[in-house]
């Protein structure tokens, strides 16, 4: 099981690097806090109004912090040309992809878990009942974002203007994730009956499956000429 | 290099495509603007359909060609297929933008708004954004081999994403009328259908013709630059040897 | 064993390599000279399966360079200009990670011996971030030693290395050659290369000219 | 190059013929009057009046008869409609009425109802749809010709 | 190894194709609550009261009434089985009229009235000349509710 080993080592390396430098997660959290702050300036909200727009604000914050994390994920590989070493790994590239997806997913999910209480406190939400459903939505949407985001992070890191191109290429492609995540989050926060938004959960599952598989194969062509 | 030969063969009929496009479009325009009656409900404005619907269809056709060509490129690595992909992306982007534009003009008198975040408008906008991203991506890579490869990856991922985007925005909100021509039958009366068919065929022919011209353009461009580059290197070498 | 057949590479409108033909047998060390921008690094990257040649093809150990990339990579190390080291990891972790990706799991004793051989054993638990350029180069060399590949590609290996480091590197190259390995190195430094290279060639504007190493003059190499 | 210009000249001629034909076909429908003009000028014969059906004034009597008030910008008209069963008659809708103005009773006697034709939108859509395509194609054709010439004259061409 | 890769590829294509097919063709479209029908609205439990929902149906002929003094109207929306009263504030879209389909967005109140602030009129996908329409020609119509869904 060498490919499983590769996955494990990639995740290990990303975690140790992150633990020692704390660059990615701290910048993600800080950026998200600024987003929350700016949104709280631009909307003066009572609780009812907050419920309408909070899901959108939340996912805007999550998506942009996620893009910061995804961009970092491969741009750290550029120091000392480590990317070349990854490209020269004899194993199939899919293992590297899965390792990177796992690491990126973990970082993004961790940041979302850290930020969610902030939203609850700052926007006066009541969520105690629906917390497990919300976590499920976060989980599914983050899998989708990191699956396709990892592919494009690896792609854009090898071109000019990479910081600009990652969101330009990624955001149109994750439109379904954003719509589904926002609608499902809104439903859960409103305490709507599950029947009203379970379709969005199914859409997220479909998206996750499709893009994990497609990106897995495409990653080979990103890393390998 | 079989595809090379096929392309060369098709290119020979380029003129037929162009001529056919002009004939069909002229017939379609005459029928659409003069020969066909107004709709019972929308009145004269329905004539915008004859230009809007073919543009939209053709841009989707273009995206399909792009995805198939990209797969082909990743498999065979034939540079002329990549030239075709680049050409079809640019043309699809233009056709999509024009479909959106004419759709907006149709929306004003019928829905009383230039723009609404309706399902099909949204998904076409996303399609346009993906195509523009594709074209931008290609300008940011120095190595033509990498440029082609990355472009192909984006095109394939985008193509797989297209139905999901379509469904997600469709459930999210929809206002656009359903398709008039579908597996369940045609709900356009013949007087209005004939010009639409003419315009559709004409627009597809026009698209194919433009695609051929543009592929040729990019191929010649590449050829010229390659030759020039080779001459440049030769010049350096000869200077060095003397 | 390396064999190139008419390799060419174009970047945009610029032709970096033109029709490079080259054959290096087992136990041979080929030195690639040439001014800056002549395409040395590009040639090495093509052979390291990092870039796809625009024209031509090549074989390494009898395996097709575009079809059997994975098998080639298992038998090849590329000591590139970048050292392929992670700044936040220490020397041991860097070695463990890089080799694990290649499917090797060296024992602690092997690691210690390799680090001692490049004389950085004392800094084994220090983050690479605090290393000097020469130390990084030595650590990369230790990594190569542990992987022990049949084919060794060295991109300007003597830069940043002091006299002692150069000697360690040359010693290792000799060891590989006596073990029937193949070495291709690009360099500007005629004097440091002379003792190990068995053949040499000059790249000029992407075209390779093979010459006997004795005939090279150092002003040729500017 | 001359071939190219001849071909595109032909396309332009066809386009102009189409435009002229279309304009002729619709010339009669282009003139509309506002309710204010009708009241002031009291034109005789068939006229076309454009306005909005005022809310709460529509009364239908049978299939093909109705009375309502047509609201213009600064004036309104009493309308009596007699004709084929109207499909598009509803309150708060902008319409074109075809009929005659009875100056004696101050009632507009409509015999047909048309939808606002919005020719401007149609012309705009067709121009927007076709003009950029034509320009783009023309530019590409010219560029291809230019490239062929360039490759020929600079003696760069050889079979690859 | 190539054999393994081939199996992986086939499995992947099946997975992607299956997921997309499920999305496009499966009965997924049917249990999507894009909008409720009036009969479903009538059966709402209190959970759904005051929740923003969409209801699709046909505007009952002759049920439309406008307010003389302000913009807005009331009408009945039906799906053939149940009929609900709808009140609407604002200017209705140009295509909205009796006997046509409409999707309204708003709240179902406890008093069994639907308060809407957004009407999405569907202009039907039928196109025909006015002479034919007056002659009473009907195009082969599809199931009405189905035409709303798609």
Distance (Å, whole) CA E128 – CA E137: 9
Nearest residue in chain C measured CA to CA from A4: C101
Q: What single DSSP character describes residue C12?
A: T
CA C156 – CA C148 distance, rounded (Å): 19
Q: Which tokens is A225 given?
A: 């000429």
The answer on pLDDT for A24 being more than 50 is: yes
Of the listed ranges B27-36, B222-231, E131-140, the least confidently predicted one is E131-140
Alpha helix segments (H runs only) across chain D: 2-26, 35-41, 119-153
| The pLDDT of residue E148 | 44
> What value does the mean pLDDT take over residues C4-13?
84
Angstrom distances, CA of residue A197 to CA of A85, A144, B102, E44: 45, 18, 34, 16
Yes or no, beta carbons of B144 and C12 under 8 Å apart: yes
What sign has the CA pseudo-torsion A166, A172, A173, A179?
positive
Q: Are the C-beta atoms of B8 and B84 separated by less than 8 Å?
A: no
Return the residue in E3, E30, E37, E47 with the most chain A beta carbons within 10 A, the one to mutate for interface testing.
E47
> Please, what's the b/e burial string for D49-85 (b: 16 or more CB within 10 A of its CB; e: otherwise)?
bbbbbbbebbeeeeeeebbbbbbbeeebbebbbebee
| CB proximity under 8 Å: A 167-196 to B | 168-169, 171-173, 175-176, 179-180, 183
Which residue ranges make up each domain of chain D?
2-26+126-146, 31-115
Mean pLDDT of the B26-54 span:
85
Select the residue from C88, C105, C106, C126 to test the A interface by mutation, using most A Cβ atoms within 10 A: C88
pLDDT at position B89 is: 97
CB contact under 8 Å between B98 and D136, yes or no, is no
Pick the closest to residue A93 from A158, A151, A146 (CA basis): A151
Residue B181 Cα to chain centre, angstroms: 20
Residues paired with residue C203 on neighbouring β-strands, in sequence order: C208
d(CA C30, CA C182): 8
Residue with tokens 């193509």: B159
Residue B234 pLDDT grade (very low, low, confident, very high; cuts 50, 70, 90): low
Please, which residues have CB within 8 angstroms of residue A6's CB and are 6 or more apart in sequence?
Answer: A89, A91, A95, A96, A99, C100, C101
CB distance from A221 to chain C under 8 Å?
no
pLDDT of amino acid A181? 95
Of B41, B44, B102, the CB nearest to D129: B102
Give the HSE-up count for residue C172: Cα atoms under 13 Å, Cβ half-sphere.
27
Does the CB of A21 have a partner CB in chain C at under 8 Å?
Answer: yes
Of C116-120, D8-12, D145-149, give the lowest mean pLDDT range.
Answer: D145-149
Q: How many C-beta atoms lie closer than 10 Å to residue D113's C-beta?
A: 21
Work out the average pLDDT over A68-82.
Answer: 92
How distant is the Cα of B174 from the closest Cα of chain E, in angstroms? Answer: 8
State the DSSP code for A92: -
DSSP bridge partners of D110: D81, D99
Scan for tokens 């011209």, then name that residue. Answer: B213
Looking at per-residue confidence, does C37 or B5 come out higher? C37
Which homologous superfamily does the CATH classification assign to the domain defined by D31-115?
Nucleic acid-binding proteins (2.40.50.140)
Residue A44 has pLDDT above 90, yes or no: no
Q: What is the pLDDT of residue E33?
A: 46
Give the span between the Cα atoms of C197 and C32, in whole angstroms.
10
- What is the pLDDT, as a whole number, of residue B231? 65
What is the distance between the alpha carbons of residues B82 and B72, in angstroms, rounded to a whole number?
9
pLDDT at residue E149 is higher than 50: no
pLDDT at A141: 97
- pLDDT tier, B18 (very low <50, low <70, confident <90, very high otherwise): very high
* Closest by Cβ to B223, choosing from D14, D126, D151: D151
| Superfamily (CATH) of domain E33-149 | Nucleic acid-binding proteins (2.40.50.140)
Contacts of A27 by beta carbon, 8 Å cutoff, 6+ apart? A68, A72
Q: What is the pLDDT of residue E136?
A: 56
Q: What is the pLDDT of residue E147?
A: 44
Q: Is there a contact between A85 and C89 if contact means CB atoms under 8 Å apart?
A: no
pLDDT, mean of residues A18-45: 86
Superfamily name and number for C1-70+186-222: P-loop containing nucleotide triphosphate hydrolases (3.40.50.300)
Q: Between the CA of residue B70 and those of A212, B87, C10, C97, what are the distances in Å?
A: 20, 12, 21, 35
10 Å Cβ neighbour count for A51?
Answer: 18
Q: Considering only CA atoms, which of A188, A172, A96 is closest in space to residue A139?
A: A188
Task: Compute the nearest-CA separation of D7 from chain B (Å).
Answer: 10
Selected residue with higher pLDDT from E7 and D65? E7
Which chains have at least 3 CB atom pairs separated by less than 8 Å from chain A? B, C, E
C-alpha to C-alpha distance for A53 and A43, rounded to whole angstroms: 10
Say if D90 is an interface residue toward chain E (CB within 8 Å). yes
Structure token digits, residue B109 = 């008198």
Chain A residues whose CB is inside 8 A of the E51 CB are 190, 192, 196
Which position has the token pair 């390659």? Answer: B226
Q: What is the DSSP letter of E129?
A: B
Question: CA-to-CA distance for D99 and D81, rounded, in angstroms?
Answer: 9
Q: Nearest CA of chain A to the CA of C85: how many Å?
A: 6
Partner residue opposite E133 with nearest CB, options D55, D87, D92: D87
Mean pLDDT of C27-52: 91
pLDDT of residue E132: 60
Q: What is the pLDDT of residue D120?
A: 85
Question: How many residues does the structure list for chain A?
Answer: 225
Beta bridge partners of A132: none
**Nearest one of A98, A207, A80 to A151, comparing CA atoms:** A98
Residue D28, helix vs strand vs coil: helix
Choose the mutation target among B157, B160, B170 for the interface with A, i.e. most A CBs under 10 Å. Answer: B157
Chain A residue with Cα closest to B168: A176
Q: Is B95 helix (H, G, I), strand (E, B) or coil?
A: helix
Q: What is the pLDDT of residues C50-76, one digit of tens each?
A: 988 888 999 999 999 888 888 999 999
- CA B25 to CA D159: how far, in whole Å? 38
D115 with B44: CB under 8 angstroms? yes
Q: What are the beta bridge partners of residue E77?
A: E59, E84
Q: Looking at residue E117, what is its pLDDT? A: 80
Whether residues A199 and E28 touch (CB distance < 8 A) is answered with yes
Interface probe, candidates E34, E128, E130, chain B, greatest B C-beta count within 10 A: E128
When pLDDT is cut at 50, 70 and 90, the band that residue D94 belongs to is: confident
Gap between the Cα atoms of B174 and B121, Å rounded: 9
B80 or B10, which is more confident?
B80
Please, what is the average pLDDT of chain A?
A: 89
Query: Cβ of D73 under 8 Å from any chain E Cβ?
Result: no
Closest CA to A70 of A179, A135, A144: A144
Is E12–A213 a contact, with Cβ atoms under 8 angstroms apart?
A: yes
pLDDT tens, B185-202? Answer: 456 677 788 899 999 999
- What pLDDT does residue B152 have? 96
Q: Kindly state whether E135 is in contact with chain A, defined as any CB-CB distance less than 8 angstroms.
A: no
- Which of the residues B224, B231, B233 would you substitute to probe the D interface, choosing the one with the greatest number of D C-beta atoms within 10 Å? B224
Question: How far apart are alpha carbons B164 and B123 in whole angstroms?
Answer: 10
pLDDT of residue B78: 86
Do residue E66 and residue D87 have CB atoms under 8 angstroms apart? no
Task: Rank A46-60, A110-124, D18-32 by mean pLDDT and report only the highest.
Answer: A110-124
Residue E137 or C82, more confident: C82
- Whether B145 sits inside 8 A of C54 (CB atoms) is yes
- Partner D contacted by B42 (CB < 8 A): yes
Ranges B110-114, B166-170, C10-14, most confident: B166-170
Q: For position E79, what pLDDT does the model report?
A: 80
pLDDT tops 80 at residue E129: no
- Residue from the list C10, C52, C204 with its beta carbon closest to the beta carbon of B229: C10
Please identify among residues 99-158 of chain A the ones whose CB lies closer than 8 Å to any CB of chain B. 148, 151, 155, 158
User: Which residues numbered 147-166 in A keep a CB inside 8 Å of some CB on B?
Assistant: 148, 151, 155, 158-161, 165
Query: Average pLDDT, whole number, for chain B?
Result: 83
User: What is the pLDDT at residue B180?
Assistant: 46
CB of B149 closer than 8 Å to CB of B134: no
Predicted pLDDT at D68: 84
For residue A103, pLDDT over 90 is answered with yes
Using CA atoms, how far residue B111 sits from B115, B141, C192, D43, D75, in Å, is 9, 43, 79, 34, 26
Is E95 at the interface with chain B, CB within 8 A?
yes
Q: With CA atoms as reference, report the closest residue to A94 among A15, A159, A204, A10.
A: A10
Domain spans of chain A? 2-223
The secondary element (H helix, E strand) that includes residue E134 is: helix E130-134
Cα distance between residue A153 and residue A67, in whole Å: 9
Cα–Cα distance, C181 to C176 (Å, whole number)? 5
**What residue spans define the domains of chain C?**
1-70+186-222
Work out the minimum CA distance from C71 to partner chain A, whole angstroms.
7
- pLDDT of E122: 59
Q: How far from E30 is each of B49, B222, E25, E145, CA to CA, in Å?
A: 30, 51, 10, 11
Which residues of D sit within 8 Å Cβ distance of B?
11, 14, 18, 21-22, 25, 87-88, 114-119, 121-122, 124-126, 128-130, 132-133, 136-137, 140-141, 143-144, 147-148, 150-151, 156-157, 160
Q: Which of C104, C165, C179 is nearest to C135 (CA)?
A: C165
Distance CA A181, CA A179 (A): 6
| Residue B76, number of CB atoms within 10 A of its CB | 12
Report the residue from E5, E19, E48 with minimal CB separation from A193.
E48
Phi-psi region of C56 (alpha: psi -120 to 50; beta: other; left: phi over 0): left
| % of chain B with per-residue pLDDT over 70 | 83
Condensed to tens digits (0 to 9), the pLDDT of residues C84-104 reads 999 999 999 999 999 999 888
Number of helical H runs and strand E runs in chain E: 4, 6
For D19-40, the pLDDT digits (tens) are 999 988 887 777 777 788 777 7
Interface contact flag, A195 E23, Cβ < 8 Å: no
pLDDT of residue E130: 60
The number of residues making up chain E comes to: 150
Mean pLDDT over each residue of chain C, to the nearest integer? 90
Residue A168 makes CB contacts below 8 A (sequence gap 6+) with B133, B136
Orientation angle between helical segments A131-156 and A93-122, nearest 10 degrees: 130
Nearest to D87 among B41, B106, B227 (CB): B41
**d(Cα D144, Cα D146) in Å, to the nearest integer?**
5
How far is the C-alpha of B91 from the C-alpha of B87, rounded, in Å? 6
Instruction: Provide the H-helix boundaries in chain C.
Output: 40-47, 69-74, 91-101, 108-117, 133-147, 163-178, 190-193
* Residues contacting residue B166 through CB under 8 Å, at least 6 positions apart: B119, B123
* B238 has pLDDT over 70: no
The whole-angstrom separation of Cα A31 and Cα B54 is: 45
Calculate how close chain D gets to E66, using CA atoms only, in Å: 6
Q: How far is CA A200 from CA A186, B168, C135, E107, in A?
A: 11, 8, 54, 21
**Is A173 in Cβ contact with B157 (below 8 Å)?**
yes
**Inter-chain contacts counted by CB atoms under 8 A, chains D and E:** 20
- DSSP-derived 3-state class of residue C149: coil
Cα angle B238-B240-C3, degrees, rounded to a multiple of 5: 85
Task: Test E23 with A92 for CB contact under 8 angstroms.
Answer: no
How far apart, in whole angstroms, are the C-alpha atoms of residue B58 and residue B101?
Answer: 15
* pLDDT band, very low/low/confident/very high, at D112 (cuts 50, 70, 90): confident
């Amino acid at each position: 099981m060498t490919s499983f080993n590769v996955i494990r080592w990639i995740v290990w390396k990303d975690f140790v690097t992150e633990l020692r430098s704390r660059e990615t997660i701290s910048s993600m959290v800080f950026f998200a806090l600024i987003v929350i702050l700016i949104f709280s300036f631009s909307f003066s909200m009572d609780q009812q109004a907050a419920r309408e727009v909070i899901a959108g604000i939340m996912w805007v914050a999550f998506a942009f912090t996620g893009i910061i994390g995804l961009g970092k994920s491969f741009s750290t590989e550029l120091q000392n040309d480590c990317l070349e070493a990854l490209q020269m790994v004899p194993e199939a590239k899919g293992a590297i992809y899965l390792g990177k997806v796992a690491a990126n997913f973990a970082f993004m999910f961790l940041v979302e878990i850290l930020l969610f209480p902030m939203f609850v406190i700052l926007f006066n939400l009541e969520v105690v009942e629906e917390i497990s459903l919300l976590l499920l939505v976060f989980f599914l949407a983050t899998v989708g974002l990191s699956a396709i985001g990892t592919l494009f992070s690896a792609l854009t890191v090898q071109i000019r203007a990479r910081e600009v191109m990652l969101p330009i290429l990624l955001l149109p492609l994750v439109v379904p994730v954003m719509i589904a995540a926002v609608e499902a989050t809104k439903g859960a926060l409103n305490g709507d009956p599950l029947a009203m938004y379970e379709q969005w959960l199914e859409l997220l599952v479909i998206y996750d499956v499709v893009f994990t598989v497609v990106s897995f194969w495409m990653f080979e062509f990103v890393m390998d000429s | 290099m079989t595809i090379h030969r096929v392309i060369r063969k098709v290119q020979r009929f380029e003129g037929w495509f162009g001529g056919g496009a002009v004939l069909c479009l002229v017939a379609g325009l005459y029928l659409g603007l003069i020969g066909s009656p107004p709709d019972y409900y929308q009145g004269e404005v329905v004539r915008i359909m004859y230009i809007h619907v073919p543009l939209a269809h053709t841009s989707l056709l273009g995206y399909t060609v792009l995805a198939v060509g990209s797969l082909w490129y990743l498999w065979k690595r034939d540079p002329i297929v990549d030239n075709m992909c680049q050409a079809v992306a640019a043309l699809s982007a233009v056709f999509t933008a024009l479909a959106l534009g004419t759709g907006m003009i149709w929306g004003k008198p019928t829905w009383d708004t230039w723009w609404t975040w309706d399902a099909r408008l949204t998904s076409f906008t996303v399609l346009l954004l993906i195509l523009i991203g594709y074209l931008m991506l290609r300008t940011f890579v120095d190595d033509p081999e990498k440029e082609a490869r990355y472009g192909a990856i984006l095109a394939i991922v985008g193509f797989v994403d297209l139905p999901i985007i379509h469904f997600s925005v469709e459930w999210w909100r929809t206002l656009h009328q359903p398709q008039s021509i579908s597996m369940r039958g045609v709900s356009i009366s013949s007087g209005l259908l004939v010009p639409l068919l003419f315009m559709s065929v004409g627009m597809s022919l026009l698209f194919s013709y433009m695609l051929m011209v543009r592929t040729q353009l990019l191929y010649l461009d590449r050829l010229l630059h390659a030759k020039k580059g080779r001459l440049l290197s030769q010049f350096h070498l000869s200077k060095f040897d003397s | 064993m390396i064999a190139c057949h008419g390799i060419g590479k174009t970047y945009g409108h610029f032709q970096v390599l033109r029709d490079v033909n080259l054959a290096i047998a087992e136990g041979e060390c080929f030195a690639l000279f040439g001014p800056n921008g002549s395409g040395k690094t590009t040639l090495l990257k093509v052979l390291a399966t990092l870039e796809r040649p625009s024209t031509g093809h090549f074989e390494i150990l009898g395996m097709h360079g575009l079809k059997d990339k994975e098998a080639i990579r298992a038998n090849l190390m590329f000591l590139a200009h970048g050292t392929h080291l992670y700044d936040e990891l220490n020397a041991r972790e860097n070695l463990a990670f890089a080799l694990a990706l290649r499917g090797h799991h060296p024992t602690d004793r092997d690691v210690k011996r390799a680090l001692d051989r490049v004389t950085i054993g004392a800094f084994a638990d220090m983050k690479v971030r605090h290393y000097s350029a020469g130390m990084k180069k030595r650590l990369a060399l230790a990594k190569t030693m542990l992987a022990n590949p049949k084919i060794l590609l060295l991109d300007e290996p003597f830069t940043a290395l002091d006299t002692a480091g150069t000697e360690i590197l040359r010693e290792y190259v000799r060891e590989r050659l006596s073990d029937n390995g193949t070495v291709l190195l690009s360099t500007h430094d005629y004097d440091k290369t002379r003792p190990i290279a068995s053949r040499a060639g000059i790249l000029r504007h992407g075209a390779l000219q093979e010459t006997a190493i004795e005939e090279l003059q150092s002003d040729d190499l500017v | 190059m001359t071939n190219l210009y001849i071909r595109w000249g032909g396309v332009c001629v066809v386009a102009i013929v189409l435009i002229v034909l279309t304009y002729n076909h619709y010339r009669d429908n282009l003139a509309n009057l506002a309710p204010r003009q009708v009241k002031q000028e009291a034109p005789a014969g068939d006229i076309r009046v454009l306005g909005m059906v005022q809310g709460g004034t529509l009364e239908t009597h049978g299939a093909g008869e109705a009375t309502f008030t047509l609201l213009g910008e600064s004036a309104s008209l009493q309308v009596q409609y007699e004709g084929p069963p109207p499909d598009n008659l509803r309150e708060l809708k902008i319409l074109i009425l075809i009929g005659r103005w009875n100056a004696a009773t101050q009632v507009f006697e409509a015999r047909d109802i048309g939808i606002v034709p919005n020719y401007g939108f149609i012309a705009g859509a067709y121009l927007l749809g076709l003009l950029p395509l034509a320009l783009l194609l023309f530019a590409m054709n010219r560029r291809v010709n230019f490239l062929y010439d360039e490759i020929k004259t600079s003696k760069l061409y050889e079979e690859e | 190894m190539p054999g393994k890769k081939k199996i992986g590829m086939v499995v992947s294509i099946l997975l992607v194709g299956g997921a997309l097919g499920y999305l496009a063709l499966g009965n997924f479209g049917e249990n999507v609550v894009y909008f409720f029908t009036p009969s479903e609205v009538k059966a709402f439990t209190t959970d759904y009261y005051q929740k923003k929902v969409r209801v699709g149906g046909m505007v009952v002929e002759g049920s439309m009434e406008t307010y003389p003094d302000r913009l807005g109207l009331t009408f009945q929306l039906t799906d053939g089985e149940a009929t609900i009263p709808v009140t609407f504030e604002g200017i209705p879209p140009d295509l909205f009229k009796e006997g046509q389909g409409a999707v309204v967005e708003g709240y179902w109140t406890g008093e069994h009235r639907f308060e809407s602030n957004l009407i999405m009129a569907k202009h039907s996908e039928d196109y025909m000349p006015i002479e034919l329409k007056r002659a009473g020609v009907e195009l082969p119509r599809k199931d009405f509710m189905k035409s709303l869904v798609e």
